[in-house]
Chains A and B, each alone.
Chain A
Amino acid sequence: MFSSFSFYEKARNKEIVAGLSLISIAVILNIVFGYFAMMFALYLSFFKWDYIGEMQFVGLKNFEIVIRDLIRGLHGAPYLLSPFYTGLKNILIYTAIVVPVQTFLAIVLAAFANQKIKGQQFFKVSYFLPATTSSVIVALIFIWLFMKNGFINFALAHIIPGFQPIDWINSREYLLLAIAIVAIWGTSGHFMVSFLAAMQAIPKEIYEAAMLDGAGPIRRFFFITIPMLRPMIVYVVVMGLIGALQMFDLAWVMAGANGGPGGAGYTVALDIYNEAFTRIRPGVAAAKSWFLFAIIFTTTYLFQKKYGRAMR
């Protein structure tokens, strides 16, 4: 009795016990569904398996399949014969469109929402609303808007004279762009909140000092707000990169499992899914997942290294 009592009496021990027990649920869940799954995927990538029978060790064969796919794609094979290459190419283009635009838009929206104007609460809510909506539902609504005789073509025809309606969803050229537009619409509001919080944390004194020196609102935005937001910009870009490179839901709904016309909306994540469940090659799917992980890890690492360091 005495020993356990003194154990708890020590403030440090108490903190350790309370701390460990509080984080344990999160840690256990993370280990089981995160790290275990990840390690199992690595293990799986060396095996040939069909879920039902026995696993069969094949060494690096699964990775060879992925590399052969990439090489074939680089030599210009049609997308049906080089699905991973097609998915990778599409997702890189998609990321190159989505991440800069959504970050820029989020800053602009946050700057507007940060103004002391009438009804700003309404704008904040309406910017953030897309982030609270399920992406599948958003995609379904946008399919409707993007139809050949849908609202977007109708609006564009009124704005641009001589505009010919585009069949967004069924066209090889525009499908990926349509998906990117939906993604930007859906995520900008979400990141706006991050920027808004960061903006409100910027000390007022800096602005006051700049005003005394005669800096106008535009100069204040570019020379104070943007530099002060830098750590948040790095965070948003990194999160955006991670999200965009493994995009699945929008492509699944808007392009379908096979990536739509000519594989225009095919992504790496769709290919991993198809490999695991349509072609029944979970080993190859795991190998492809590790490829995708390597790509995401290197891009975010390089970006962090280059821009993340300058944090205060």
Chain B
Amino acid sequence: MKKVLVGGLLIFALLFAVVASGCIGGQTQTPTGETKTETQVKTETKVETQVQEKVFIRFAGWSAGETEMKNYERMIKEFEQKNPTIGVKYEVITQMFHENILASFGAGVAPDVFYLDSSWAPIFIDKGALYPISDLADQSFIDKFYPFLLEPFKKNGKLYGLPKDWSMLALFYNKKLFEQAGLTKPPETWEELEEYAKIIADKTGKPGLAIYLGGFNRYVPVAVSNGAPKPWFEKPEDASWFDNPVVKETLAWYINLYKKGKIEREQQGLTPYVVAPGDVGAGWLGDAFGQQQVAMVISGNWMIPFLADQFPDFKYGEDWDIAPVPAGKSGRVTMAYTVILGINAKSEHPQEAWKFVEFLLGPEGQKELVVKAGQTLPSMKGFENDPDMWPQHRKTLSFKYDDMIVFLWGPKSGPLEGKFSDAMAAAMRGEMTIDEAIEVMKQVVQEELSS
């Protein structure tokens, strides 16, 4: 008889496990009054009617560190206090963010509000995954943002996202190494950049400039500042961008920076004047610059908090400084990198989601999350002279450029950037000629956009 009981219990436990597992991942709209689930079947359900309906929205982002997470948690709490009927569930996805979001769309459980990098935006906009912000926001609110940051997120007269913050490229240079080499000011043009790098290598024994092997987005300012059109790949024929003589010339120059500055110099037994971060035992450009292994890098605002945090003895103003990206024959151009807060088109609560987005992106949110945090630049105008803004960031914002290119090459930005960079890296290492690399890049465009 005992065994019967045990067997019965086992079956019951199993059934319970199956039922319980079915409950997980269900609707998140739980009434606030309910605190625990009763196992009895005869629970009364009348309690719910007395409780005020609270709407929950899910907000997903990646994290640039614990500080950012805590800042967001603080702001969410503040938002919930101001809007007692809206609850926000903050979900941090640390790795492969966009892949995760895509998969959650596939499974039908995408968050209501999520980060979206500019290079991924076209996929989401084209497929109708984003709720048009212009239907929710006042035009006066939209007008407060930098207009060039909004451009990539517009389609058919509608705006699909507002940037939460942004970064741009600038030239970071080591003042001490410049002094040792007898240089008094940062390079003004691309030719000067190479020339200065050479002088520094000869005089100080340290490479003048570090660039990435590949890195298509770092090359684009060179092309556009010398008169090439902005790269945009939407159909196979757009591969002709690479036939532009300016593109061919500047691409050869950029690839040769490494071929001549590193490979040939080493063959001659001289200090290389251009290196990749890995060549000096660094993980990325910021690391190479912070370790003072190289005198110059062109990188974004994300360098600034990294240097302050990792290399506190390497001081801004005394040891290193920021200058605008060098100019080409037809002007000065830099890259801008931005992330929007997108609202899920299938969200059940777009109004509440917008309220939350408006709070985070509004002046109050930007001040706390962007200006004071010091990681990036505010996407809203009017903070240029804010006393809370880090002086390094303020300086990058003060530079004048003829054009700002937002990191976006069309609907297939991600794979194109990766493959262009691979081809460029192969050419830099001398595994293929520059012409072969250009040919491969053209075929990649045709291949990616043909279907």
Contact = CB atoms under 8 A, between A and B. Distances in A.
Interface in B169-208: none
Contact of A258 (B17, B96, B129, B422): B422
Nearest to B124: A52
Could you say which of A18, A50, A80, A277 has the most chain B C-beta atoms within 10 Å of its C-beta? Answer: A80
B18 to A, nearest CB: 8
B3 A25 contact: no
Nearest to B418: A258
Contact of A8 (B7, B106, B423, B443): B7
Contact of B102 (A25, A51, A80, A257): A51
Interface stretch (B146-154, B361-369, B424-432): B424-432
B11 interface: yes
Contacts of B14: 21, 24-25
Interface in A277-305: 277-280, 282
A80 B105 contact: no
Given A14-B3, A278-B418, A51 B423 contact: no
Contacts, number: 79
A26 to B, nearest CB: 12
Interface string A15-54: 0011001001100100000000000000000000111110
Interface range, A side = 20 to 34
Contacts of B431: 172, 261-262
B129 A52 contact: yes
Interface in B1-52: 3-4, 7, 10-11, 14, 17-18
B447 interface: yes
Nearest to A79: B422
B309 interface: no
A149 interface: yes
Contact of A277 (B96, B128, B422, B423): B96
Interface string B89-110: 0000000101100110110000
Nearest to A54: B127
Contacts of A78: 426, 432, 436, 440
B254 to A, nearest CB: 18
A261 B423 CA distance: 10
B414 A81 contact: no
A225 interface: no
A5 interface: yes
B444 A81 contact: yes
Contacts of B432: 78
B245 interface: no
Given A52-B129, A261-B425, A280 B123 contact: yes
Given A170-B278, A278-B414, A51 B106 contact: yes
A147 interface: yes
A311 B171 CA distance: 69
A21 B127 contact: no
Interface in A247-279: 257-258, 261-263, 274, 277-279
Contact of B123 (A5, A8, A17, A50): A50
B3 A80 contact: no
A68 to B, nearest CB: 10
B448 A279 contact: yes
Interface string B115-154: 0000000011001110000000000000000000000000
B281 interface: yes
Nearest to B425: A261
Contacts of A280: 102, 123
Interface of A: 5, 8, 14, 17-18, 21, 24-25, 28, 49-53, 78, 80-81, 147, 149, 170, 172, 257-258, 261-263, 274, 277-280, 282
The 9 A-B pairs at the shortest CB distance, nearest first, are namely A52-B127, A51-B106, A277-B99, A52-B129, A51-B102, A53-B127, A51-B105, A52-B105, A8-B4
Given A277-B96, A277-B102, 10 more contacts: A17-B11, A21-B7, A25-B17, A52-B102, A80-B419, A80-B444, A147-B281, A149-B281, A257-B418, A274-B415
5 contacts: A14-B7, A78-B426, A78-B436, A263-B422, A279-B412
Interface of B: 3-4, 7, 10-11, 14, 17-18, 96, 98-99, 102-103, 105-106, 123-124, 127-129, 278, 281, 412, 414-415, 418-419, 422-423, 425-426, 429, 431-432, 436, 440, 443-444, 447-448
